Amino acid sequence: MEPKQIDTSRELPIMEEFYTIQGEGNHSGRAAYFIRIAGCNVGCVWCDVKESWDANEHQLLSLDQLVTNVVQSGTEFCVITGGEPCMYDLSALTEKLKAKDIELAIETSGCYPLQGKIDWYCFSPKKFKVPIDEAYTRADELKVVISHPSDFKWAENHASKVSEDCILYLQTEYSKRERFLPLIIDFVKENPKWKISLQTHKIMNIP
């Protein structure tokens, strides 16, 4: 949940920030600075960062400090994730980062309107909270996590709503990868409009 009072033009609740390699999706393998904003009410049962859900458990960090940290890392690319980052107005943060010529991506469930300027919109819908229409029109990348056989049909339903230019990815829930990765491989071979996203950062044992 969100803190009761927060001035997003000055600060945001941050669970963690770090310079790493993007492990999944379209930008997999690319050096990226991650900003994980705390706060989420989507409640995915298989979420691997449940500690990000309660924003009140994490520090408020000034936007100026965040931007300084990103720039000092030497990165050209920053991923804003969560939690659910679109719970917050990101206009000030993204404006400051864009002023430093940082390319920006966001990872979101699509349940809230995006407030801010983003170069790449990764839409990862969840069953626990219905996405808004904006997510389908904004999506550069649709990434659906497969953790049950019925998820393939659910993924196709979302794919029918995004633009033709949106890149489609299926990604196994990591703890169930031995069961579902073979099914995803077969599905993609039969439906080649889809691609497979692997959580390569877990394979590389990096954040």
pLDDT digits 0-9 by tens, 6-37: 999 999 999 999 999 999 999 999 999 999 99
φ and ψ at residue 174, rounded to 5 degrees: -60, -40
Residue 45 has pLDDT above 80, yes or no: no
Domain residue ranges in the chain:
11-204
Question: In angstroms, what is the C-alpha Rg of the chain?
Answer: 17
φ and ψ at residue 51, rounded to 5 degrees: -65, -10
11-204: what fold? TIM Barrel (3.20.20)
Instruction: Work out the burial of residue 79: count CB atoms within 10 Å of its CB; fewer than 13 is exposed, 13-18 middle, 19 or more buried.
Output: buried
Cβ count within 10 A of residue 181: 17
pLDDT digits 0-9 by tens, 154-177: 999 999 999 999 999 999 988 888
Which one, of 4, 1, 21, lies nearest residue 205 by Cα? 21
Contact criterion met (CB below 8 Å) for 123 and 137:
no
Supply the pLDDT for residue 191. 98
Percent of residues, the chain, with pLDDT higher than 70 = 93
